[in-house]
């Protein structure tokens, strides 16, 4: 019989300042106990196909962290559908399926893409929502030509480098029940949008929107993409740990993807040694990615429904859930 979860920070009790908090924070064993009887549908080969470059996520991580999260999200989907049905009944409207929308946020190199892919696979195993789509906000980056024209190529990934109106329009129309939408496709190999190529999204049961910018607040007088989320996840870690993971990933890509002559960063593989590559990647991290993390991404952590906090070895150690 599983022991009850240990509440590291429980919203039922006042804080030291005398105020109650709507959050509960659980350590890994306590969170893992909430899996209940949710089965593990993945093999090691399945997981290998879902992991990002240098991401060490294991089947133990899937069992301890992602299966309980899958179970929780299944409960959220059911409750949200009941609420939507009640509102439609009140308005006298017919049944119009709307997707349950999940946002997944976090820094570059923190592992949010692996989290999103795992959730897509696990959530599709539940019989009441088998159609799960995953969309990256990279698809809504402005093209390199536009970024260069605006003089912000060195701020790629910052809020102004995205077509935020197009992203909000896509998510809002999906939430309104649009049967089918076409969106641009971004290539990490080319480091740019792919001309003439689109991703088709056809009214899923669940839509996962993954990207560094998904929890950012709206511009004055406008809606933000997060306004349409039913649940949001922030993948968290210390800045110094993310920096180390970023450099490890960059060097791994230098040995693999960057060796492709079509890669935007091919020169990193063909014209530099490892020391020069580390110096380049460190400069990019320091001047772009760390600045964006500290100024724009990390401040959105408090907007998430759930925070997955990783230790130095990429292992998720704690889970914080907003209960209201």
Q: Residues forming the annotated binding site?
A: 106-113
The dihedrals phi and psi of 206, each to the nearest 5 degrees, come to -135, 135
Give the number of other Cβ atoms within 10 Å of residue 263's Cβ: 21
Give the residue numbers of the binding site for ATP: 106-113
Bridge partners for 211 per DSSP: none
Pair type for strands 206-210 and 132-136: parallel
CA separation for the pair 228, 175 (Å, rounded): 7
CA separation for the pair 114, 193 (Å, rounded): 21
Q: Which of 66, 68, 9 is nearest to 33 (CA)?
A: 68
The dihedrals phi and psi of 162, each to the nearest 5 degrees, come to -105, 150
Sole residue written with tokens 């009790």: 13
Three-state DSSP state, 118: helix
Distances from the Cα of 140 to the Cαs of 2, 151, 273, 280, in angstroms?
Answer: 44, 18, 33, 26
- Report which secondary-structure segment, H or E, holds 310: strand 306-310
């Amino acid at each position: 019989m599983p022991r009850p979860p240990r509440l590291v920070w429980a919203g039922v009790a006042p804080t030291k300042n005398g105020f109650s908090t709507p959050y509960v924070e659980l350590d890994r064993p306590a969170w893992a106990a909430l899996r209940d009887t949710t089965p593990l549908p993945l093999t090691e080969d399945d997981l290998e196909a879902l992991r990002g470059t240098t991401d060490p996520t294991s089947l133990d991580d899937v069992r301890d962290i992602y299966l309980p999260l899958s179970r929780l999200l299944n409960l959220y989907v059911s409750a949200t559908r009941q609420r939507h049905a009640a509102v439609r009944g009140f308005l006298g409207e017919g049944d119009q399926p709307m997707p349950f929308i999940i946002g997944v946020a976090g820094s570059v190199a923190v592992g949010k893409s692996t989290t999103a892919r795992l959730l897509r696979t696990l959530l599709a195993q539940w019989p009441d929502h088998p159609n799960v789509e995953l969309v990256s906000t990279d698809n809504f980056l402005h093209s390199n030509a536009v970024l260069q024209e605006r003089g912000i190529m060195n701020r790629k990934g910052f809020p102004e480098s995205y077509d935020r109106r197009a992203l909000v329009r896509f998510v809002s129309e999906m939430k309104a029940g649009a049967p089918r939408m076409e969106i641009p496709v971004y290539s990490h190999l080319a480091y740019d949008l792919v001309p003439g190529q689109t991703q088709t999204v056809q009214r899923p049961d669940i839509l996962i929107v993954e990207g560094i910018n998904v929890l950012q607040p709206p511009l004055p007088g406008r809606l933000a993409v997060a306004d349409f989320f039913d649940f949001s996840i922030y993948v968290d870690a210390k800045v110094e740990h993310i920096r180390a993971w970023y450099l490890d990933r960059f060097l791994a890509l230098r040995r693999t993807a960057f060796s492709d002559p079509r890669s935007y960063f091919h020169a990193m593989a063909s014209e530099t040694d490892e020391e020069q590559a580390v110096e380049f990647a460190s400069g990019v991290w320091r001047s772009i990615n760390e600045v964006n993390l500290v100024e724009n991404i990390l401040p959105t952590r408090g907007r998430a429904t759930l925070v997955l906090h990783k230790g130095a070895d990429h292992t998720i150690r704690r889970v914080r859930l907003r209960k209201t």
